[in-house]
Amino acid sequence: MPPIIGLKPVEWISSTRDDLQRLPEAVQYEFGYALYQAQVGKHHVSAKQLKGEFRGLIELVEDFDGDTYRTIYTVKLAGVVYVLHVFQKKATHGIGAPRHEIATLRARLQQAKAHYAAHYGPPRSP
């Protein structure tokens, strides 16, 4: 199916598409709508820019049935929405992300950059 004019393509890094499909349907809908808004150049009301090492990445957080789910994506690589990580937050203490989630995000960001260079050309700012 050809891309819809005006929509940025979505690239799913590693297992992110499957991970999203395993979430509750209501969470899938919210994250899907937020990603659609990113495709058309808008910013979902619950989207939050990350800081520090991950500056430029965007986090979506959705609470459902007592659980918290997160999706992290970037539009930092011009013209493309890269979904980097989709997961259920399971930390039992504090609000920070566990080390293994940070390591996963770091590795997937590098995968996205390599994919962008191979398929879209040298990285450009949005």
- When pLDDT is averaged across residues 95-100 and rounded to a whole number, the result is 69
Going from N- to C-terminal start, the domains of the chain cover 10-120
102 vs 82: which has the higher pLDDT? 82
Tell me how crowded residue 20 is: count the other CB atoms within 10 A of its CB.
19
What confidence tier does 99 reach under pLDDT thresholds 50, 70, 90?
confident
75 with 84: CB under 8 angstroms?
no
Can you give the pLDDT at residue 58? 97
- For the cut 60, the answer to whether the pLDDT of residue 93 exceeds it is no
- When pLDDT is averaged across residues 50-73 and rounded to a whole number, the result is 94
In the block, which residue shows the tokens 């090492």?
A: 53
Q: Rounded to an integer, what distance in angstroms lies between the CA atom of residue 11 and that of residue 82?
A: 5
- When pLDDT is averaged across residues 79-105 and rounded to a whole number, the result is 81
Q: How far is CA 47 from CA 6, 29, 44, 77, in A?
A: 21, 15, 5, 17
CATH for 10-120 (3.40.50.2000, 3.40.50.620, 3.30.2310.20, 3.20.20.105): 3.30.2310.20
